[in-house]
Amino acid sequence: MAPSTKTVLIPIAHGTEPLEAVAMITTLRRGGADVTVASVETQVGVDACHGIKMVADTLLSDITDSIFDLIVLPGGLPGGETLKNCKPLENMVKKQDTDGRLNAAICCAPALALGTWGLLQGKKATGYPVFMEKLASTCATAVESRVQIDGRIVTSRGPGTTIEFSITLVEQLCGKEKADEVSSILLVRPNPGEEYTFTELNKTEWLFEDTPQILVPIAEDSEETEAIALVDILRRAKANVVIAAIGNSLEVVGSCEAKLVADVLLDEVAEKSFDLIVLPGGNGAQRFASCEKLVNMLNKQAEANKPYGGICKSPVYVFEHNGLLKDKKATTHPRVSNELSDQSHIDHRVVVDGNVITSRAPGTAMEFSLAIVEKFYGREKALQLAKATLV
């Protein structure tokens, strides 16, 4: 580790909000920080919200004497309560404050943890809307900013503000130039908080019986925020989402070395029918493209005129290279967009063309996921979810 490398601690627990945790881990690592994910439980594996499993790098109990440039707390329930009740973590965060180093928290954690521990007295802070009254009761000045900085404490509101929050933390640690660089790679929303939109051509009704059955494959080097955003948002919408790993292990390491855990191996569901197959990106897209079973499933999906989608590099490496974008408009990550045969829509953040949906990067993943919700359930439900997640 270079002497100037900034160190970050992200504690997680059963019931942590996975999208917040994963977006923080990956964005800060992209910014060059050395991020340690520590479980406050008695094992490194935790059951996060929405049936998503996470694996920490270590146990918090093994690193309580370590010093970090930043400690940042994700939200989610009951995870936020567990963090609040973790005395070793409280002691670390209080020492961090006393020593003048950065602390940060999002969602319920500003009120439940930082506020309860007495660190927000007289400071401006924000949090998830239903915790604003609790926040004010801790003697903080509760504000509705998407991200709030007051001295050495940074707070934010929820899943939909996490990338903005994380970019702010990169700037605090590593400077504006590095933050701008990461922001441009992620394609952060230019208008956060405004109603999401997407481009649609050849409008087609997406059909399902009872509950949408959705397959989200993951592989080594898949982009973690894109994968978790899809699963998190679609499970909130009450779709039945199956995470399937390419290869022989349920646990895979993503492109920013976050550890993802699948529900099943792809081999176990290769003969099943899904209402939608949707792929995250990252360099895992190349592994998808070389997986014959997955490509066969996608070809069958296309032949049956059933929806399929991809984000980031997947539209190019998987769809374009296998003829799955014939006569379709699509978008993809800027770094590979020159490989699309039809580049007319490459600047659009989300494109739906009939039964095919494509998108660009981690910063467009929430809009991508909400567009899928809208196609299955209608705009009203998607907007309710957008409001609940603060997109």
Give catalytic residues, as residue numbers: 107
In sequence order, what are the beta bridge partners of 353?
Answer: 201, 356
Element housing 155 (H / E): strand 153-156
Query: Please, where are the H alpha helices in the chain?
Result: 18-30, 79-84, 87-98, 109, 132-137, 162-174, 176-186, 224-236, 266-269, 284-289, 292-303, 314, 365-377, 379-389
Residue 350 CA, chain-centre distance (Å), reads 17
Q: How far apart are CA 216 and CA 288, in angstroms?
A: 11
Contact residues for 114 (Cβ-Cβ < 8 A; gap 6+): 73, 93, 103, 105, 120, 125, 138, 153, 155
Q: What six digits make up the tokens of 187? A: 């394609």
The neighbouring-strand residues paired with 156 are: 106, 147
Closest CA to 105 of 44, 58, 45, 166: 166
DSSP assignment string, 77-98 = TTHHHHHHT-HHHHHHHHHHHH
For residues 329, 332, 336, 339, the Cα torsion angle rounded to the nearest 10 degrees is -10
Closest CA to 219 of 312, 325, 336, 321: 312
Q: 3-state class of 116 per DSSP? A: coil
Structure tokens at 364: 């467009």
Cβ neighbours of 379 (radius 10 Å): 15
In whole angstroms, what is the distance from residue 6 CA to residue 281 CA?
27
Chain center to CA of 65? 30
Question: Cβ neighbours of residue 180 under 8 Å, at least 6 residues apart?
Answer: none
Q: How many residues does the chain have?
A: 391
